[in-house]
Amino acid sequence: MKIALAQISPHLGDLEKNLEIHLRRIEDSRRKKADLVVFPELSLTGYTLMDLVPEVALHPGRHTLFKKFSQESLGIDIVAGFVEEKEPGLFYNSAVYLSGGEIVHLHRKVFLPTFGMFEEAKFFAAGRSFKTFDTRFGRTGLMICRDFLSYGAGYLLLAGGADIIIVVSAAPGRGATSGPSFGTARMWELMGEAMAFFSTALVIYVNRVGYEDGKIFAGGSFVFGPSGKLEAKASNLEEELLIVDLDLEEIKRARKKWTFRRDDRPEIILQNLRRIVERNED
């Protein structure tokens, strides 16, 4: 399996320009024989939208731009981020998996950061589920940025049988270090390493770059293999199309060695979660 990590800098609120960027990166990925190209969170719109949310929202089943975009997936699978208008006035920060000209899966961001520099819950409704779905590469799960930092959400994808976990992100860079990366980069990589190892799954994380509203986005996209090994890492701050060759057989080899999935007991987790929730409901 060959994947393309499209670490781009979208134009805030400009759907047409962002579509052009996507089309160029998709064509570049095709030329390099990639099977899948992954774009960052809100890649079709930019991140700090605030009052622009209704103006750039798309209904994936009806909007002409989205239909045109979907057609690009006839030759390569695509993951991208956009503002979804599920119904009039109801907006989600969403990510879509496209293949064969069709929507295979749509994920709505569940954990909306609304603190410090983040204001997502002021403009978006929260998603309510984490589901795995079939692709030609294996059982797959999608997450959006802050979802990834909930290890409970990661467990749901493990319990759902995920072979591949794809995370799209718009994470700003924060915290100085002695090296070229930001302090927060370690947080994302640590979660990627742990989730890959304990889920024995491929973890693909694609972050954006560029500046918006005083925020600098960190880049540093990466792939961890199913044994927790870092397979590839993109540059910090710079746009890049990173092509990564992956051996899907490595998932089987990791699961023969580490029996985390075999020994999982979701019914025990469910029983105890019910007890905890019921105890705390007062």
Residue-level pLDDT at 174: 73
DSSP letter string over 178-202? SSSS-TTHHHHHHHHHHHHHHHTSE
* CB proximity list for 28: less than 8 A, separation 6 or greater: 4, 241
State the fold for domain 2-280: Nitrilase/N-carbamoyl-D-aminoacid amidohydrolase (3.60.110)
What is the distance between the alpha carbons of residues 192 and 167, in angstroms, rounded to a whole number?
A: 9
Q: Over the stretch 65-96, which tens digit does the pLDDT of each residue have? A: 888 889 999 999 999 999 999 999 999 999 99
Cβ contact 97:133 at 8 Å: yes
Q: Over the stretch 93-110, which tens digit does the pLDDT of each residue have? A: 999 999 999 999 999 999
Model-level pTM?
A: 0.95
Amino acid in the structure at residue 155: Y
Strand ordering across the sheet containing 102-108: 102-108, 90-99, 77-87, 36-38, 2-7, 240-245
Backbone angle region of 119, left / alpha / beta, with phi > 0 → left and psi within -120 to 50 → alpha:
alpha
Amino acid in the structure at residue 46: G
What is the distance between the alpha carbons of residues 264 and 36, in angstroms, rounded to a whole number?
A: 30
What is the distance between the alpha carbons of residues 123 and 9, in angstroms, rounded to a whole number?
A: 22
Residues of the chain with pLDDT under 70: 175-181, 282
DSSP letter string over 87-115? ETTEEEEEEEEEETTEEEEEEE------S
Residue-level pLDDT at 178: 53
DSSP letter string over 243-269? EEE--THHHHHHHHH--TTTT--HHHH
